[in-house]
Structure 1
Amino acid sequence: MAMTALTTAELILAALLALVVLTLAFIWLRRKVIARGHDLILGAIRTPADPRWRLGLIRLRGDQFEWFSVVGPRMRSERSWARHDLDLGAPTPVDVDIPGIPGAVMVDTGRHQTELALSPPSYTAVRAWHESSPPGFNVNVA
């Protein structure tokens, strides 16, 4: 029995729909794995080598600041900084619109030669995390 054009179109449409569903499921699962019980913040980075803003997910974990690309298969952070190595400068407004980050402010990370763009509430959260003591640090101080 030969396939008709309608049957072929239905199969192609079903395959495309399955691909979309699998892609969305992977994105959701990847985000859950990256979070691992920690909060994620939407942010963007740029470096002198790559002057365009790259959107990503920021995880503040213990004494680590980790940045993950929004898209891609990697489950490990693409960039990571120790809390004590991170030197956040003063926030300044970003000169371009970054999708997903309305009213973004930019901060320099110091010697890492990376700029971060965050929404103002996210910047406040990162600044509070940065200035607080890491878990277990100086716990016996009286």
Structure 2
Amino acid sequence: MVGYGSLLLVIMAAVGGLIILALGLLAFRIAGDRSSTCPPMPAAYRDEDGAWRRGTLRFTEDRLSLKGSGGLSVGPWMRGNLDLGVAGPLATQDADALGGAALIRVPVTYGTSRFEIALGEQHYTALRSWVEAVPPGWNSQVA
């Protein structure tokens, strides 16, 4: 028969393990946030046949990703392969679905896949500038 002391010890070990796991995940998330070249930007993502999903748009030196709620992410997409289409206003029903915010819809092509990103005007300007800028090391071997 197991005594109450050993049962308490097992429960304390399990709680301690969960605390260590939570701290590790928090440290991993903080380290990921520090690697981005700009502050995270609120945005929404929709693939060709899906509904809008809210998230946080992040870009580093060469990658773009969208982290959704609960830590789920879409991407990463390599900077040189992204093709931003012509931005336009978000449809009324889509704006209502996203809380009625004044967002810009941007069609994006990445290789053979297509999707849309909805974000604020100032964030769109930052994204467009980042995509169109020369990636670091792009012509590093040119004399």
Deviation digits for residues 27-61 of structure 1 (CA, Å, limit 9, x no counterpart): xx4763441242211111111231x2101111111
Give the Cα–Cα distance (whole angstroms) in 2 for the partners of residues 67 and 53 of structure 1.
12
Structure 2 residues not aligned, in runs of 5+ = 1-21
After TM superposition, list the pairs within 5 Å mapping 1:49-88 onto structure 2.
49-50=49-50, 52-69=51-68, 71-74=69-72, 77-88=73-84
Bigger fraction of residues in helix: 2
After TM superposition, list the pairs within 5 Å mapping 1:99-110 onto structure 2.
99=99, 102-110=101-109
Equivalent position amino acid for 1:84 in 2: G
Name the counterpart of 2:138: 137
After TM superposition, list the pairs within 5 Å mapping 1:1-142 onto structure 2.
29=26, 32-38=30-36, 39=38, 40-50=40-50, 52-69=51-68, 71-74=69-72, 77-95=73-91, 96-97=94-95, 98-99=98-99, 102-110=101-109, 111-139=112-140
TM-score by length of 1: 0.67
Alpha-carbon distance, 1:141 to partner: 5.2
Alpha-carbon distance, 1:84 to partner: 1.5
Aligned pairs, number: 112
Are the structure 2 counterparts of residues 43 and 104 from structure 1 closer, same or farther at C-alpha, using a change threshold of 3 Å?
same
**What is the CA RMSD across the aligned residues, in angstroms?**
2.6
Are the structure 2 counterparts of residues 134 and 94 from structure 1 closer, same or farther at C-alpha, using a change threshold of 3 Å?
same
Equivalent position amino acid for 2:42 in 1: L
Give the Cα–Cα distance (whole angstroms) in 1 for the partners of residues 71 and 130 of structure 2.
28
Q: 1:124 is paired with a residue of what secondary structure?
A: helix
TM-score by length of 2: 0.66
Alpha-carbon distance, 1:126 to partner: 0.2
Identity %: 32
Bigger fraction of residues in strand: 2
Equivalent position amino acid for 2:62 in 1: D
